[in-house]
């Protein structure tokens, strides 16, 4: 350990953590950490970023070490656009100081697009090094279910966030009532359009995200009942990433001339709006999900009509409660795991978006 500390002093990364602790937080070997800290050759930029992030996470968590309790490590594996992943990380950091039964240390793997093999490899690494719980947002595929089953068999609990998995091996689902959100979107669109006929564009980030699938199924059923004159055109793919969403959207809108509404379930709203403008299509109502910074800006500027939102901090706290109950540190979670849908408009958007924030992004 003295050898490790000696070399830490030589690096430009300012911290006071042993190499073993940084390695555990980053999910890397101690030799790799040593190479990064000493600026040695043959280290990828991604690896350096993981080490830097690990040190930042350890620094942020130091204040919690004063709390009495067991030290526990939890892994967040999240496939989502960066704007949503930032919200997950911020919500986690906000929740941690209020957990008194243990010292909880999160480790984050946040990527915009994760191939199935990448998710499986990440879960395999977690299985090998150990974890007190995994908070997972990933596609529902047989291979990913199998990886979750392996964690379950090793008593590493998995809680799914926002989108669920089949198979029954996860400990709990936390997040939005997706079917309820879909029905709410149909209601808002129907009430806005009345008896109009025309096309409604329904977009999802990927076909294998169960949460978005539940939203669309409920949306289509409710809209058919409420507004049978409207025709739904579905678009799946893009991962909520602007560039990917834009390329697919151009083809889908090629023959649409009567667009009345958009229900965006998977993000990428800035790109969707830009494409609609390029095609000279202006929907009367636009329903989106999640009050991230981009959607706040679009809502305040009246570019979108409604945002279906839920309390992400509440979801994260519910996830930790499930983990702590699994390990016998608290009783059964009192909090409901499913969040209700909040409908936000330009008239009731939270006031924490300062004017200067909008100006800086224009």
Q: Which structural domains are found in the chain, ordered by start?
A: 1-66 (1.10.260), 178-310+344-361 (3.40.50.2300)
Quick one: 355 exposed, middle or buried, by C-beta within 10 A (0-12, 13-18, 19+)? exposed
d(CA 175, CA 84): 13
pLDDT at 361: 33
Which among 318, 307, 338, 333 has a CA at the least distance from the CA of 176? 338
CA atoms within 13 A on the CB side of 359: 3
Query: If you compute the radius of gyration of the chain from its CA atoms, what whole number of angstroms results?
Result: 22
Overall pTM surpassing 0.85 (yes/no): no
Q: Report mean pLDDT in 10-residue bins for the chain, 362 residues.
A: 38 68 87 88 88 83 58 94 90 92 91 94 96 96 96 97 90 94 98 96 85 94 97 77 63 84 91 89 95 90 94 93 93 77 91 43 32
pLDDT at 103: 87
Quick one: 302 exposed, middle or buried, by C-beta within 10 A (0-12, 13-18, 19+)? exposed
pLDDT tens sequence across 198-224: 999 999 987 778 889 999 999 999 999
Cβ 203 vs Cβ 265: under 8 Å: yes
> What's phi and psi for 250, nearest 5 deg?
-55, -45
> What's phi and psi for 90, nearest 5 deg?
-65, -40
d(CA 89, CA 104): 14
Count Cβ atoms below 10 Å from residue 319 Cβ, excluding itself. Answer: 30
d(CA 266, CA 288): 8
Cβ 170 vs Cβ 148: under 8 Å: yes
pLDDT at 242: 53
d(CA 3, CA 180): 57
From residue 185, how far is each of 107, 121, 199, 215, 264 by CA, in Å?
34, 36, 15, 9, 10
Which among 152, 86, 77 has a CA at the least distance from the CA of 119? 77
Q: Where are the alpha helices (DSSP H) in the chain?
A: 2-8, 19-26, 30-37, 45-61, 82-95, 116-129, 142-153, 178-193, 210-226, 242-252, 269-278, 293-300, 312-326, 355-361
pLDDT at 73: 94
pLDDT at 352: 59
Quick one: 180 exposed, middle or buried, by C-beta within 10 A (0-12, 13-18, 19+)? middle
* DSSP structure string for 70-108: EEEEEEEEEES-HHHHHHHHHHHHHHGGG--SEEEEEEE
């Amino acid at each position: 350990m003295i050898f490790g500390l000696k070399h830490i002093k030589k690096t430009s990364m300012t911290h006071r953590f042993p190499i073993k602790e940084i390695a555990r937080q980053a999910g890397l070997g101690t030799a790799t950490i040593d190479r990064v800290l000493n600026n040695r050759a043959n280290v990828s930029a991604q690896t350096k970023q993981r080490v830097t992030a690990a040190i930042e996470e350890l620094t942020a968590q130091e204040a919690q070490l004063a709390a009495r309790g067991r030290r526990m490590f939890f892994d967040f594996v999240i496939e989502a656009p960066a704007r949503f992943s930032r919200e997950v990380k911020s919500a986690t950091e906000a929740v941690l100081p209020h957990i008194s039964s243990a010292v909880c240390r999160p480790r984050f793997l946040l990527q915009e697009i994760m191939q199935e093999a990448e998710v499986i490899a990440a879960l395999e690494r977690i299985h090998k090094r150990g974890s007190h719980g995994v908070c997972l947002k990933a596609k529902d595929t047989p291979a990913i279910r199998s990886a979750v089953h392996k964690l379950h068999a090793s008593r590493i609990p998995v809680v799914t966030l926002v989108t669920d998995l089949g198979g029954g091996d996860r400990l709990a689902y936390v997040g939005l009532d997706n079917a309820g959100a879909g029905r709410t979107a149909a209601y808002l669109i129907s009430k806005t359009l009345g008896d109009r006929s025309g096309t409604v564009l329904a977009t999802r980030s990927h076909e294998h995200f169960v949460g978005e699938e539940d939203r669309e199924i409920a949306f289509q059923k409710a809209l058919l009942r409420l507004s049978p004159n409207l025709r739904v055109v579905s678009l799946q793919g893009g991962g909520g990433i602007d560039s990917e969403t834009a390329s697919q959207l151009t083809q889908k809108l090629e023959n649409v001339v009567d667009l009345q509404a958009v229900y965006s379930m998977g993000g990428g709203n800035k790109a969707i709006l830009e494409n609609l403008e390029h095609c000279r299509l202006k929907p009367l109502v636009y329903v989106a999900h999640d009050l991230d910074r981009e959607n706040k800006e679009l809502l305040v500027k009246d570019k979108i009509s409604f945002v279906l939102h839920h309390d992400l901090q509440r979801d994260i706290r519910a996830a930790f409660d499930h983990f702590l109950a699994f390990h016998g540190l608290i009783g059964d979670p009192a909090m409901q795991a499913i969040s209700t849908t909040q409908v936000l408009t330009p008239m009731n958007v939270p006031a924490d978006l300062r004017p200067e924030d909008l100006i800086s992004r224009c």
